[in-house]
């Protein structure tokens, strides 16, 4: 209980609370504007958090992401343009409600389910992460090797679209992770004689390129449609009774989202699709889905916010990111000198609980801020792209510069922006590449360390029971697509 109290003191400081409020406001605006995504907001926020203490820095990221994932529903409901990919699953239902003259109904349901789903996700995070961390304290490099491999395998298999293209994306990420000096042997790799690349590809500029510059390239067009958003009725009218009547959907969405989010590599987007599909299968009226029905909207809306929180479970406990946002968080944690892993639960538990509390706070802030943004949505949607995109571009440039105080970061941002854009144009998912960059170094380091400890005996990877179990899971994951292909042939 002392830890909880200490954590509360860490969060209840005016600067931390103000930071959370500011980041939440920023997040809710970013999500509501078409073309600005949650991951992009996080990538652009990082250069600022770089200069903060750990608790406000992490709290700002958590708050921004939670808000942006909810408010991504707004352009989806009003214009049928999902503000973030996680809103795409139920965009048809929300838009149908708008066309029927009740835009506030769809948005109110999104808000209510996002709030409850988010709280379920945070509670699961608070409960599961410390338990897992206690279990993980006796993991050695062998277990971490398998965990990293598990994360990479999930990233490729669970990603949206063709699994093969997911693998190609992953391989690209692994290659990027090799760039720089090999820590164990002191050998520079793939630096092309560049002094700046000796320390490796700077992660945050690369993320800004892949998630923000890519988005500018996609939105750089002269003939952007001029959206006309409808007027809103009262947001909360009849909302409570609908959510009570659909409590099964809210609860199931929150729990499914938490589970999917906790898988490495599967984030809020996938959670929303999975939950929408479950809601449809379990519904008495599946034929109504996509025509302005509330069940799928509620279940998937709760699911994506829950996934956002639970993605932090593998991130904080094992250092294995749950999705693209937490991949960026891992980069931030290292910058702050906080190596993610069970050790931080033991050494600085108050820090972890402070992060959890700020998560909870951010999710509760959804209610007032969400209401405000729904009322203001008409105006936000009309911000002209011709002003918005230059603002984002300049934020990309200065943010990439600020990480190392060097124009080289801007060059990295440019290169990864072009690569990310080409990836997207060709249906190659970006998320596996990000996880490849983060996990590649971890995979190799733990492999080499294990080999040095065991003097080159490969059996060390299956000698300990947990390691053997994890290895078996990885093998099953790899075998599954092959077995499915064989079965479909016979």
Partner 1 sequence: MMKFNDRVIGILAILGGIAIISGTFGFREAPGQQFGSGFFPRIVGAAAMLAGLVQVLAARDRGPWIRIAPELRSRDAFLKLGVLAAVVFWLLTVQMLGFLLTTTLVALALSVAMGARPLPATGVAAGLSALLWLVFGMVLRVPLPRGLIEGLMSWT
Query: Rounded to the nearest whole angstrom, what is the least distance from the CB of residue 205 to partner 1 in the complex?
Result: 12
SS3 content of the chain, % helix, strand, coil (to 5): 75, 0, 20
> Of residues 53, 175, 378, 383, which one binds partner 1 by CB under 8 A?
175
**How far apart, in whole angstroms, are the C-alpha atoms of residue 316 and residue 356?**
11
178 binds partner 1, rule: CB under 8 A: yes
Is 443 in contact with 145 (CB distance < 8 Å)?
Answer: yes
Question: Which phi and psi (to 5°) does residue 180 adopt?
Answer: 115, -175
* Residue with smaller CB distance to partner 1, 189 or 336: 189
Is 415 in contact with 201 (CB distance < 8 Å)?
Answer: no
Is 76 in contact with 95 (CB distance < 8 Å)?
Answer: yes
Task: Write b or e for each residue in 459-482: b if 16 or more Cβ atoms lie within 10 A of its Cβ, otherwise e.
Answer: ebbeeeebbeebbebbeebeeeee
Interface residues for partner 1 in 434-463 (CB under 8 A)? 443-444, 447-448, 451-452, 456
> Of residues 1, 14, 193, 222, which one binds partner 1 by CB under 8 A?
222
Joined tokens for residue 98:
């708008």
**How far apart, in whole angstroms, are the C-alpha atoms of residue 349 and residue 353?**
6
Query: Rounded to the nearest whole angstrom, what is the least distance from the CB of residue 278 to partner 1 in the complex?
Result: 31
> Of residues 14, 193, 221, 465, which one binds partner 1 by CB under 8 A?
221
**How far apart, in whole angstroms, are the C-alpha atoms of residue 433 and residue 429?**
8
Interface residues for partner 1 in 366-385 (CB under 8 A)? 384-385
CA distances (Å), 101 to each of 34, 392, 421, in order?
A: 21, 33, 37
Query: Rounded to the nearest whole angstrom, what is the least distance from the CB of residue 48 to partner 1 in the complex?
Result: 7
Q: Which stretch binds partner 1 (CB under 8 A): 44-52, 140-148, 235-243, 342-350?
A: 44-52
Residues in Cβ contact with 124 at an 8 Å cutoff, skipping those fewer than 6 apart: 258, 262, 306, 309, 310, 313
The per-residue DSSP string of 166-192 comes to: HHHHHHHHHHHHH-EEETTTTEEES-T
Q: Which stretch binds partner 1 (CB under 8 A): 168-176, 265-273, 303-311, 337-345?
A: 168-176
**How far apart, in whole angstroms, are the C-alpha atoms of residue 66 and residue 58?**
12
Cβ atoms < 10 Å from Cβ of 240:
11
Query: Rounded to the nearest whole angstrom, what is the least distance from the CB of residue 187 to partner 1 in the complex?
Result: 4
Bridge-based pairing of strands 180-182 and 187-189 is: antiparallel
Q: Give helix 103-136 / helix 91-99 axis angle, nearest 10°.
A: 160
389 binds partner 1, rule: CB under 8 A: yes
Joined tokens for residue 460:
């060390």
Q: How many residues does the chain have?
A: 490
* Residue with smaller CB distance to partner 1, 48 or 367: 48
* Residue with smaller CB distance to partner 1, 179 or 366: 179
285 binds partner 1, rule: CB under 8 A: no
51 binds partner 1, rule: CB under 8 A: yes
Query: Rounded to the nearest whole angstrom, what is the least distance from the CB of residue 165 to partner 1 in the complex?
Result: 8
* Residue with smaller CB distance to partner 1, 300 or 435: 435
Query: Rounded to the nearest whole angstrom, what is the least distance from the CB of residue 413 to partner 1 in the complex?
Result: 8
> Of residues 131, 386, 479, 483, which one binds partner 1 by CB under 8 A?
386
> Of residues 5, 127, 190, 236, which one binds partner 1 by CB under 8 A?
190
Residues in Cβ contact with 313 at an 8 Å cutoff, skipping those fewer than 6 apart: 124, 125, 128, 129, 132, 261, 262, 322
Query: Rounded to the nearest whole angstrom, what is the least distance from the CB of residue 45 to partner 1 in the complex?
Result: 12
416 binds partner 1, rule: CB under 8 A: no
> How many residues sit close enough to partner 1 to count as binding (CB under 8 A)?
59
Query: Rounded to the nearest whole angstrom, what is the least distance from the CB of residue 424 to partner 1 in the complex?
Result: 9
Query: Rounded to the nearest whole angstrom, what is the least distance from the CB of residue 210 to partner 1 in the complex?
Result: 14
* Residue with smaller CB distance to partner 1, 9 or 386: 386
Joined tokens for residue 439:
């996990």
336 binds partner 1, rule: CB under 8 A: no
**Contacting residues toward partner 1, per CB under 8 A:** 47-48, 50-51, 164-165, 167-168, 171-172, 174-175, 178, 182, 184-185, 187, 189-190, 213, 216-217, 220-222, 224, 384-387, 389-391, 393-395, 397-398, 401-402, 405, 407, 410-411, 413-414, 417-418, 422, 425-426, 428, 443-444, 447-448, 451-452, 456
């Amino acid at each position: 209980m002392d830890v909880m109290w200490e954590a509360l003191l860490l969060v209840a400081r005016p600067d931390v609370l103000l930071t959370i409020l500011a980041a939440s406001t920023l997040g809710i605006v970013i999500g509501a504007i078409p073309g600005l995504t949650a991951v992009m907001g996080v990538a652009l926020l990082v250069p600022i958090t770089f200069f903060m203490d750990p608790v406000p820095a992490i709290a700002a990221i958590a708050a921004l992401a939670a808000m942006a994932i909810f408010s991504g529903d707004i352009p989806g409901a009003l214009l049928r343009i999902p503000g973030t990919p996680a809103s795409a699953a139920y965009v048809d239902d929300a838009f149908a409600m708008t066309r029927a003259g009740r835009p506030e109904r769809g948005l109110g349901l999104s808000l209510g389910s996002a709030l409850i789903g988010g709280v379920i996700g945070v509670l699961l995070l608070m409960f599961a992460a410390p338990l897992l961390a206690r279990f993980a304290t006796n993991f050695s490099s062998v277990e971490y090797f398998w965990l990293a491999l598990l994360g990479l395998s999930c990233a490729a298999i669970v990603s949206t679209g063709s699994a093969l293209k997911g693998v190609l994306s992953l391989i690209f990420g692994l290659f990027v992770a090799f760039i720089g000096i090999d820590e164990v042997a002191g050998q520079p790799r793939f630096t092309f004689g560049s002094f700046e690349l000796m320390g490796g590809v700077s992660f945050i500029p690369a993320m800004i390129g892949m998630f923000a510059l890519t988005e500018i390239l996609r939105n750089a067009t002269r003939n952007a449609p001029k959206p006309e958003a409808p007027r809103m009725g009262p947001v909360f009218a009849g909302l409570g009774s609908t959510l009570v009547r659909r409590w099964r959907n809210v609860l199931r969405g929150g729990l499914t989202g938490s589970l999917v989010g906790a898988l490495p590599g599967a984030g809020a987007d996938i959670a929303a699709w999975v939950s929408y599909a479950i809601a449809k299968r379990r519904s008495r009226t599946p034929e109504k889905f996509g025509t302005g029905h509330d069940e799928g909207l509620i279940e998937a809306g709760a699911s994506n916010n829950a996934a956002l929180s639970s993605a932090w479970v593998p991130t904080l406990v094992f250092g294995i990111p749950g999705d693209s946002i937490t991949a960026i968080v891992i980069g931030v944690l290292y910058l702050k000198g906080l190596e993610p892993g069970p050790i931080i639960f033991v050494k600085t538990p108050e820090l972890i609980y402070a992060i959890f509390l700020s998560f909870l706070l951010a999710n509760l802030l959804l209610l007032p801020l969400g209401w405000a943004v729904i009322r203001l949505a008409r105006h936000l949607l009309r911000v002209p792209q011709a002003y918005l995109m230059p603002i984002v571009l300049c934020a990309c440039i200065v943010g990439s510069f600020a990480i190392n105080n060097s124009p080289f970061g801007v060059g990295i941002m440019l290169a990864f922006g072009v690569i990310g854009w080409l990836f997207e144009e060709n249906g190659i998912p970006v998320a596996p590449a990000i996880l490849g960059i983060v996990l590649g170094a971890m995979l190799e380091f733990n492999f080499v360390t294990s080999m040095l400890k065991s003097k080159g005996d490969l059996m060390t990877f299956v000698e300990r029971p947990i390691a053997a179990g994890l290895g078996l899971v990885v093998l099953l994951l790899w075998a599954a697509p092959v077995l499915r292909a064989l079965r479909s042939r016979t």
